[in-house]
């Protein structure tokens, strides 16, 4: 099977795809003795050289489970003395972390050289579970557990409903299928708690059992098979229909009003269909062109204004309340000045009124 040259080089553990593109542009990559070009396709039968070194397609992927200690930064930047790649100390090929943990957090992080699976695991819309043990600085209450489980407003969005269980007076177990920045710490802060310890113990079907802090292990064949099966139907790209953020108006700790459901499909998990935040009038006008309606309303308002003032359009002369473009002669003796009381004696007179003039006798 043929793949793009930059992916071929990246999968071989040489560098990232972006770096591979730079090597190709600079002329440091040759395929079957010829200078490579961006977008070239290669297969296992092709002979690829990068900076003069032969590169072979790696057929077996690498999957590692690492127990990150507190104080290690989840970055691949080699300039950071506490970067996670330096702490991992794996020399069997190029790997990168699946997600991150805060520097002051600890626990399980997966490493792999499989770029496709990374996006499938991390994308929030795929709803893959991650489990944490969290210690806080105050006794855990029923209200605290309920509010965290139902969702809290942070970073302008409503967190998804999650599983929260009390372990002891100061410790809870949290299972999330979402991964906002410092999510658990921010939620606890909103609810008046401080996190004293946060440890991730599971990512999907992979747990931390048997891995000491600062150590790693290869995933077993059965773990890899289960992991690949779990992400089989997951997206690695964003949905064509962009997901909208959930409304934060139903945040716990406030008035207790029901949360609103956004029009998007991601982030409105288990939210009720009612309370969409739209008025009945807005719903009834759905699908109608706003611009044409606005112009029509403005024209009607202008006509009413002209009629009220009695000004003939374009002339500035009064029309006595009639539509612009018509005239009205003085009433004849014996006739009422009220327009509604006057009755034409001839059929022709009625027609002359409509045409804007009256014949004289």
Q: How far is CA 320 from the centre of its chain?
A: 60
pLDDT given for residue 234 in this prediction: 63
How far from 42 is each of 39, 57, 88, 252, CA to CA, in Å?
Answer: 10, 10, 32, 55
- CA–CA separation, 68 vs 144, rounded Å? 28
pLDDT given for residue 255 in this prediction: 37
pLDDT given for residue 274 in this prediction: 38
pLDDT given for residue 19 in this prediction: 86
- CA–CA separation, 249 vs 347, rounded Å? 68
The pLDDT tens digits of the residues spanning 255-298 come to: 343 444 333 333 333 333 333 444 444 444 444 444 545 555 66
The reported pTM is 0.57
pLDDT given for residue 259 in this prediction: 43
280 included as an active-site residue: no
Domain 3-55, CATH among 3.40.50.300, 3.40.50.1820, 3.40.605.10, 3.10.290.10 = 3.10.290.10
- CA–CA separation, 46 vs 303, rounded Å? 78
pLDDT given for residue 60 in this prediction: 80
Other C-beta atoms closer than 10 Å to the C-beta of 249 total 15
Domain ranges of the chain: 3-55
Q: Which of 80, 102, 129, 207 is catalytic?
A: 102
Kindly give the parts of the chain with pLDDT less than 70.
Answer: 58-59, 124-126, 233-361
């Amino acid at each position: 099977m043929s793949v793009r040259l930059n992916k071929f080089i990246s999968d071989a553990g040489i560098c990232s795809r972006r770096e591979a593109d730079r090597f190709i542009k600079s002329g440091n990559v040759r395929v079957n003795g010829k200078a490579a070009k961006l977008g070239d396709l290669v297969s296992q039968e092709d002979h690829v050289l990068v900076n003069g070194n032969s590169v072979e397609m790696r057929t077996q992927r690498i999957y590692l489970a690492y127990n990150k200690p507190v104080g290690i930064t989840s970055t691949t930047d080699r300039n950071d003395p506490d970067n996670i790649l330096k702490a991992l100390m794996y020399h069997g090929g190029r790997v990168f972390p699946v997600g991150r943990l805060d520097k002051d957090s600890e626990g399980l992080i997966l490493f792999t050289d499989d770029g496709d699976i990374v996006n499938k695991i991390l994308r929030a819309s795929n709803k893959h579970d991650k489990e944490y043990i969290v210690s806080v600085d105050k006794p855990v209450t029923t209200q605290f557990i309920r509010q965290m489980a139902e969702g809290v407003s942070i970073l302008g969005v409503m967190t998804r409903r999650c599983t929260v269980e009390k372990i002891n007076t100061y410790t809870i177990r949290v299972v999330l299928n979402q991964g906002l920045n410092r999510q658990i710490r921010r939620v606890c802060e909103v609810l008046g708690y401080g996190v004293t310890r946060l440890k991730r113990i599971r990512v999907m079907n992979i747990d931390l059992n048997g891995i000491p802090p600062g150590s790693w292990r290869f995933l077993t064949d059965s773990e890899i098979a289960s992991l690949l099966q779990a992400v089989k139907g997951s997206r690695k790209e964003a949905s064509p229909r962009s997901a909208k953020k959930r409304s934060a108006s139903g945040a716990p700790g406030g008035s207790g009003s029901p949360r609103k459901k956004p029009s998007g499909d991601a982030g409105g998990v288990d939210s009720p269909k009612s309370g969409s935040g739209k008025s009945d009038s807005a719903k009834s006008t759905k699908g109608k062109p706003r611009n044409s309606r606005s112009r029509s309303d403005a024209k009607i308002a202008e006509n009413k204004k002209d009629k009220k003032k009695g000004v003939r359009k374009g002339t500035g002369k009064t029309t006595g309340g009639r539509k612009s473009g018509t005239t009205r002669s003085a009433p004849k003796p014996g006739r009422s000045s009220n327009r509604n009381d006057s009755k034409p004696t001839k059929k022709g007179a009625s027609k002359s009124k409509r045409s804007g003039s009256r014949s004289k006798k």
